[in-house]
Amino acid sequence: MKKILIIGAGTAGIDVAARLKHSGEKLSITIIDPAQKHYYQPFWTLVGAGLSRKEATERNMKDLIPNGVEWLAEKVIKIDPFQNQVETEKSGALHYDALVVCPGLELHFEKIKGLEDPTLPYEGVCSIYSYQTVDKVWENFHNFKSGQALFTFPNTPIKCGGAPQKIMYLFDAHLQRTNRRKDAQIFFTSAGQRIFGVPSFAQALNKVVVRKGIHTRFNHNLVEVDTKNKLATYCVSDSEGKQQQVTYEYSMLHVTPPMSAPQFVQDSPLAHKEGPSKGWLNADIHTMQSPEFSNVFAIGDVAAYPTAKTGAAVRKQAPVLVRNLIDHLNGRSLENNKKYDGYSSCPLVTEYGKVILAEFGYNDILLPSFPVIDMTKERYSMWLLKTKMLPVLYWDFMMKGRA
Domain boundary among 211, 231, 259: 259
* 117 and 203 fall within a common domain: yes
In a domain, residue 374? The reply is no
In a domain, residue 180? The reply is yes
* 242 and 168 fall within a common domain: yes
Are β-strands 252-254 and 125-126 bridged in parallel, bridged antiparallel, or unpaired? parallel
pLDDT value for 18: 98
What is the CATH number for 82? 3.50.50.60
**Mean pLDDT across 204-227:** 98
304, amino acid identity: A
R_g over Cα of the chain: 21
Q: Using an 8 Å Cβ cutoff, are 258 and 154 in contact?
A: yes
- Counting the structural domains of the chain, the total is 2
Q: What is the pLDDT of residues 320-378, one digit of tens each?
A: 999 999 999 999 999 999 999 999 999 999 999 999 999 999 999 999 999 989 999 99
In a domain, residue 400? The reply is no
**Mean pLDDT across 64-85:** 98
* 122 and 229 fall within a common domain: yes
Domain boundary among 211, 233, 259: 259
* 66 and 115 fall within a common domain: no
* 289 and 310 fall within a common domain: yes
Residue 219 has pLDDT above 90, yes or no: yes
Domain boundary among 340, 364, 382: 340
In a domain, residue 321? The reply is yes
Is 346 noted as a catalytic residue in this protein? yes
pLDDT value for 301: 99
* 82 and 215 fall within a common domain: no
**DSSP tag of 89:** T
In a domain, residue 137? The reply is yes
Q: Using an 8 Å Cβ cutoff, are 64 and 14 in contact?
A: yes
The percentage of residues in the chain with a pLDDT greater than 90, rounded to a whole number, is 98
Is 126 noted as a catalytic residue in this protein? no
Residue 244 has pLDDT above 90, yes or no: yes
* 29 and 118 fall within a common domain: no
Rounded Cα distance between 143 and 51, Å, is 16
pLDDT value for 239: 80
* 245 and 280 fall within a common domain: no
With bands split at pLDDT 50, 70 and 90, how would you rate the model's confidence at 383? very high
In a domain, residue 369? The reply is no
* 75 and 149 fall within a common domain: no
Q: Which domain holds residue 55?
A: 2-105+261-340
* 137 and 178 fall within a common domain: yes
With bands split at pLDDT 50, 70 and 90, how would you rate the model's confidence at 87? very high
* 250 and 281 fall within a common domain: no
Torsion of CA 58, 62, 64, 70, to 10 degrees: 150
* 148 and 228 fall within a common domain: yes
Q: Using an 8 Å Cβ cutoff, are 113 and 225 in contact?
A: yes
In a domain, residue 352? The reply is no
Rounded Cα distance between 324 and 374, Å, is 34
What is the enclosing helix (H) or strand (E) of 322? helix 311-329
Rounded Cα distance between 47 and 66, Å, is 28
Burial of 2 (C-beta count, 10 Å sphere; 0-12/13-18/19+): middle
In a domain, residue 375? The reply is no
Rounded Cα distance between 321 and 16, Å, is 8
